[in-house]
Amino acid sequence: TIKGFAFDLDGVLADTARFHSQAWRQIADELDIPWTEALESGIKGIDRMSSLMLILNSKGVADNYSDEEKEALAKRKNDHYKELISTLTPDDVLPGMHEFLADLKANDLKMSIASASKNAPFILDKLQISDYFVGVVDPSKVKQGKPAPDIFAEAAKILNLPPEQVVGLEDSEAGITSINDAGEISVGIGDALQLHAAKINFPSTKDVTLAQIKAHLNW
Ligand code: G6P
Ligand code: MG
């Protein structure tokens, strides 16, 4: 039976995917790299430097930049992103998620955070939801980011549960792959075609309920 939930943060709990996009888009504009739907969804879930590489490679210009220049671009994105997230309040918890977290807690289900973001603790604090979680994966301490299983595997360890007793929630393709390969039950939130590898799918955060998940899993 299911005993724990591992949450992605950006785009699942926090309305911050738009800020990642906005901050990267500004860098892309400066570098004359066209912003596309593929970039918009491709940067979801993958770490900061992988996002920059995806953007540079979309125009085949990654080799034009030294490692130092890439570090500087990634830092500039993060400085802009940090400005944007400094305005977050509890109202920026995505629709339905306050209720979902409270329901899980009332049912004694354990929760952890499986985000690739180094800004996750700051965001949880701003949203005032840190106390729901027994722990937050430190992405700088895992070998490989999403789509590798490491981050979701670590989130189950934090819960002290075997992966098959853990449900993972994600809005990105990379994240769904990470959940599935960690041996957990994947819940995709967003476009069902794009997140087709998810075991269960919800169009939006407001559709996610414990009752629905239980019904899908015959639990
Ligand atoms: C999340 C977002 C990605 C972002 C990554 C790293 O997974 O979905 O778009 O690149 O976190 O975030 P950071 O805040 O460390 O740059
Ligand atoms: Mg996400």
DSSP string, the chain: ---EEEE--BTTTBTTHHHHHHHHHHHHHHTT----HHHHHHTTTS-HHHHHHHHHHHTT-GGGS-HHHHHHHHHHHHHHHHHHHTT--GGGBPTTHHHHHHHHHHTT-EEEE--S-TTHHHHHHHHT-GGG-SEE--GGGSSS-TTSTHHHHHHHHHHT--GGGEEEEESSHHHHHHHHHTT-EEEEES-TTTTTT-SEEESSGGG--HHHHHHHHT-
What digits encode the pLDDT tens for the residues 92-121?
A: 999 999 999 999 999 999 999 999 999 999
Q: Quick one: pLDDT at residue 21? A: 98
Using a 6 Å cutoff on CB, does residue 43 contact ligand 1? yes
What digits encode the pLDDT tens for the residues 65-92?
A: 999 999 999 999 999 999 999 999 999 9
Whether 45 has a binding-site annotation, put simply, is yes
CA of 44 to the centre of ligand 2 (A): 6
150 is catalytic: no
Which ligand is nearest to the Cα of residue 50, counting in written order? 1
Residues in the chain: 219
What digits encode the pLDDT tens for the residues 127-173?
A: 999 999 999 999 999 999 999 999 999 999 999 999 999 999 999 99
Instruction: Given the cut 0.90, state whether the ipTM is greater than it.
Output: yes
- Residues that place a CB less than 5 A from ion ligand 2: 8, 10-11, 171-172
User: Contact at 8 Å (CB) between 168 and 185?
Assistant: yes
**Which pLDDT band holds residue 56 (cuts at 50, 70, 90)?**
very high
Whether 46 has a binding-site annotation, put simply, is yes
Ligand 1 pocket test target in 9, 51, 171 with most atoms within 8 Å of CB? 51
Residue bearing the CA closest to ligand 1, atom 15: 117
